[in-house]
Amino acid sequence: MSFSKLNTSTISSFQSSTDPGLSSHIDEGRWVVYIRRTLEEELEQDIEIPVSIFCVPKPLMLSDPDSYIPQQVAIGPYHCFRPELYDMEKYKLAAAKRNQRELPNKKLQHLVDQYLKFELKIRAYYHKPLNFSGETLAWMMAVDASFLIEFLQVCAVGEGKALTNISSKVSHLIDLAANKAANNAIFRDIIMLENQIPLFVLRELLEFQFSSLESADDWLLSMLIGLSKELSPFKMVEEFPKIQVMDCAHLLDFAYRVIVPNLEEKSHDHVTEIEEDGESKEGEKDSFGEPSYLRQLLDEVWNILSKLEKGPVQWIKSIIFSKPLKVVVKLPWTIVSKIPVLKMLKEPLEHVFSAFHKGGEKKEGEDSDSKSNIEKPPLIEEITIPSVMDLFEVGVRFVPTNEGIQSISFDAKTATLYLPIISIDVNSEIVLRNLVAYEACRASGPLILTRYSELMNGIIDTDNDAKFLRERGIIINRLKSDKEVADLWNGMSNSIRLTKVSFIDKVIEDVNKYYNGRWKVKIGKFMKKYVFGSWQLLTFLAAIMLLLLMCLQAFCQVYSCRRILPIKGLEPAVTN
């Protein structure tokens, strides 16, 4: 256990026994005694325990607070004293009483004493300092663990096991058939990131009941598998992954291990803050009024010409860029470029001609740039991917798979995008949001689930996209409408950091490459950039044409143009 964790637990425990208003009059003797006792216990329990129960990051919390704050029941210390959750305390206490009766030759006090021995270990799991005494924390764990074990029995029943008869007082809360709404509300609360307790606390309680750690792990695993099947939005594979209960930190961590594949490869995990206006900047980049589109058009033309090295083209290029011609052109160009209308063309033309001299340097630097890009964090633009309907219009097929997130792939030869089957119900958004939050808060590892949610957010823009995936069997919609499904994915756009997830990034890259390679898309982008994007130049040309026509008409008003241009509209009107 690191010193920082020791320091946090020490300070939080000591503060719980002191008046915050009297911080300047701390009893130094009590402080020294507490530090000495804590250090002695620390030497006895020299264990490194990573923090795993976090406060939800602020950007995620602000996006949808109800998805991260429990609404029915508080589990653990973060929300235990919220007045709006007091109604569930009587059910938790009832579960603790029944649990005490079921303990063979033991009382709940014995379990509390056991938890007191692991006080520092319990505190080490929490990211936020816990301002509770050790005894308060131990009783809190005992009551919450009793309630969770009783509630999770219904999950074990689904796996063919049952512990005890469920009391009629709380049966309406955990009977799947009787009260589905109340059951779902509690399920959503116990899976939230801030509503977790260490899993070893449940193991200790079950060990007290069974007097065997192996039996306790067996029962606990059955409960956790049942919980994962109930809450997982992905269709569970027939071969359930082998997960050791002792390796899991809490319920949410177990669910995460079930849903997210354990990639052996290392991911380039670069922390990158994402600004809230990232999308708006991209929108501004597509505005039609920028002269950069004219520059891009000239770049395209010049790239074609610069590749022609044979025949008279090379001779013409050498003349154009010769020093004498530069001197001759430079003076009049400076004067002409001051004209307001032609001033707009100055920057693009200068850019194109300067590109000739930088061509060689650019080629030399391309190799080093490509190597450095591998190590760079992914850009926000890399998340961009066409919508489902856009992909369907260019011939992409969508095929469902039963293998979870790891089965995401794209076959460019058959233009087939393989996506895992996902069931969307009233619990799905909260489960996904808290899994993404937990994934973002972990110390290391690729953000696989976050990248998947970004992929789904990218391809689902409207209810038509969600409807299309539902008809293809990729989305099983248990909500009221397809619009709710689209809103769910579009609402999960906030992220804490970006990471490279190789197999998902490969899919995004291949899909974009296939889409951008279609002639229909190329023509559309060309029209948008070089025609609609160059409206200033087109307006200028139209004005010149109109001016020339007006001059021609005025000329024909004075002189007869019938011989030169036999157009009736240009002849002067005949008056009687």
Three state DSSP letters for 101-153: HHCCCCCHHHHHHHHHHCHHHHHHCECCCCCCCHHHHHHHHHHHHHHHHHHHH
Cα→Cα distances 286→289, 292, 381, 523, 534, Å: 9, 10, 13, 16, 12
Q: Which of 459, 456, 442 is nearest to 499 (CA)?
A: 442
In a domain? residue 82: yes
Q: Which of 264, 520, 258 is nearest to 396 (CA)?
A: 520
Mean pLDDT for all residues in the chain: 75
Q: Which of 183, 70, 143 is nearest to 425 (CA)?
A: 183
Identify whether residues 214 and 69 lie together within a single domain. Answer: yes
Of the two residues 462 and 279, the one the predictor is more confident about is 462
pLDDT in tens, 340-381: 545 555 555 555 555 555 554 444 454 545 444 544 555 554
Identify whether residues 391 and 361 lie together within a single domain. Answer: no
Identify whether residues 291 and 318 lie together within a single domain. Answer: yes
Say which residues have a Cβ less than 8 Å from residue 137's Cβ, sequence separation at least 6: 77, 115, 119, 122, 123, 130
Range from 137-151, 163-177, 212-226 that averages highest in pLDDT = 137-151
Identify whether residues 78 and 211 lie together within a single domain. Answer: yes
Boundary residue ending a domain (376, 400, 415): 376
End-to-end CA distance of the chain: 109
Where in the sequence is the domain holding 317, given as residue range(s)? 278-376
The arithmetic mean of pLDDT across residues 308-331, rounded, is 56
The arithmetic mean of pLDDT across residues 487-492, rounded, is 90
Tokens representing 258 are 């079930």
Identify whether residues 168 and 302 lie together within a single domain. Answer: no
Residue 128 has pLDDT above 60, yes or no: yes
Q: For the chain, what is the radius of gyration of the CA atoms?
A: 34
pLDDT at 147: 94
Tell me the C-alpha distance between 440 and 447, whole Å.
7
Compute the CA torsion angle 416, 419, 421, 424 (nearest 10 deg): -120
- Chain-centre distance of CA 537, in angstroms? 41
Identify whether residues 107 and 123 lie together within a single domain. Answer: yes
Identify whether residues 495 and 541 lie together within a single domain. Answer: no
The arithmetic mean of pLDDT across residues 75-99, rounded, is 91
The arithmetic mean of pLDDT across residues 499-525, rounded, is 86
Percent of the chain clearing pLDDT 70 (strictly above): 60
Identify whether residues 65 and 179 lie together within a single domain. Answer: yes
Residue 235 has pLDDT above 50, yes or no: yes
Q: Is 323 exposed, middle or buried (0-12, 13-18, 19+ CB in 10 A)?
A: exposed
563-570 contacts at long range (C-beta below 8 A, 24 or more positions apart): none
Specify whether the CB–CB gap between 187 and 70 falls below 8 A. no
Q: Which residue has the tokens 């606390």?
A: 201
In a domain? residue 76: yes
Identify whether residues 461 and 389 lie together within a single domain. Answer: yes
In a domain? residue 238: no
**Strand order of the sheet with strand 409-411?**
397-401, 416-420, 409-411
Tell me the C-alpha distance between 202 and 245, whole Å.
11
Boundary residue ending a domain (357, 376, 395): 376
φ/ψ of residue 399, rounded to 5 = -125, 130
Question: What DSSP assignment string belongs to 400-432?
Answer: EESS-GGG-EEETTTTEEEEE-EEE-TTHHHHH
- Amino acid code (one letter) for 452: Y
The arithmetic mean of pLDDT across residues 84-104, rounded, is 87
Q: Is 470 exposed, middle or buried (0-12, 13-18, 19+ CB in 10 A)?
A: middle
Residue 428 has pLDDT above 90, yes or no: yes
Identify whether residues 182 and 282 lie together within a single domain. Answer: no
Tokens representing 273 are 């803050």
Specify whether the CB–CB gap between 96 and 108 falls below 8 A. yes
In a domain? residue 416: yes
Boundary residue ending a domain (326, 358, 376): 376
Say which residues have a Cβ less than 8 Å from residue 574's Cβ, sequence separation at least 6: none
pTM recorded for the entire structure: 0.71
Identify whether residues 432 and 539 lie together within a single domain. Answer: no
Quote the crossing angle between the two packed helices 199-210 and 108-117, to the nearest 10°: 140
In a domain? residue 269: no
Residue 456 has pLDDT above 80, yes or no: yes
Q: Which residue has the tokens 């001299």?
A: 357
In a domain? residue 365: yes
Number of H helices, E strands in the chain: 25, 5
Specify whether the CB–CB gap between 151 and 190 falls below 8 A. yes
pLDDT at 9: 46
Backbone region of residue 415 per phi and psi (left: phi > 0; alpha: psi in -120 to 50; beta: other values):
left
Tokens representing 510 are 């291949």
Specify whether the CB–CB gap between 167 and 99 falls below 8 A. no
pLDDT in tens, 139-155: 999 999 999 998 888 76
- Amino acid code (one letter) for 130: L
Specify whether the CB–CB gap between 445 and 420 falls below 8 A. no
pLDDT class of 458 with cuts at 50, 70, 90: very high
Tell me the C-alpha distance between 257 and 480, whole Å.
30
Identify whether residues 58 and 156 lie together within a single domain. Answer: yes
Question: What DSSP assignment string belongs to 168-192?
Answer: TTTHHHH-TTT-HHHHHHHHHHHTS
Percent of the chain clearing pLDDT 90 (strictly above): 35
In a domain? residue 92: yes
In a domain? residue 16: no
Q: Which residue has the tokens 């995008």?
A: 417
* Overall domain count for the chain: 4
